[in-house]
Amino acid sequence: MKLVEPDREVEASAGDCLVEFVDAGVQVHAPSGYTLLDAARMAGVAMPHVCLGNCACLSCCVEVVFGRGFLSAMDQPERDRLNTAPGLPTHARLACQALVRPGRVVVRRLRDPIREW
Ligand code: FES
């Protein structure tokens, strides 16, 4: 497992979230308030974001394997967007919309469901 420290001057703090991209075998300490997409970018984990994080596509979709309680609540626009893709895992989130809180989150990147169907 590769552990990536954020590219910033301060060390990881107790307020960070340890985000694991289980399919990539990478963990990163992300500051609270960062999105899962931010965490992926910090860690160098490839994650498409076709709409540039505007909740208008599904390319950044992930399955939350562990730690849903350490993510921000899903808002209606995200819920509406996810509902356009039937068959997603129950705990799917848009990485560009889910903000991390102090704790530990494990996610698995999903392939863009629109392109698969
Ligand atoms: S990048 Fe398009 S919804 Fe997240």
Q: How confident is the model at residue 38 (pLDDT cuts 50, 70, 90)?
A: very high
Q: Report the separation in Å between the CA atom of 25 and the middle of ligand 1, taken as the mean of its atom positions.
A: 22
Please state the domain count of the chain: 1
pLDDT tens-digit profile of 10-34? 456 778 999 999 999 999 999 999 9
Domain that holds residue 39: 2-116
Helices (H), the chain: 36-43, 76-82, 113-116
Q: How confident is the model at residue 89 (pLDDT cuts 50, 70, 90)?
A: very high
38, 54, 74, 79: which to mutate for ligand 1, most atoms within 8 A of CB? 54
Model-level pTM? 0.87
Which pLDDT does position 52 carry in this prediction? Answer: 96
Position 69 pLDDT exceeds 50: yes
The CA-atom distances, in angstroms, between 15 and each of 33, 47, 81, 100 are: 10, 24, 30, 10
Q: How confident is the model at residue 3 (pLDDT cuts 50, 70, 90)?
A: low
**Residues within a 6 A CB radius of ligand 1:** 49-51, 53, 55-57, 59-60, 94, 96
Atom of ligand 1 nearest to the CA of 52: 1
Closest residue by CA, ligand 1 atom 3: 55
Q: Residue 19's domain is classified under what CATH number?
A: 3.10.20.30
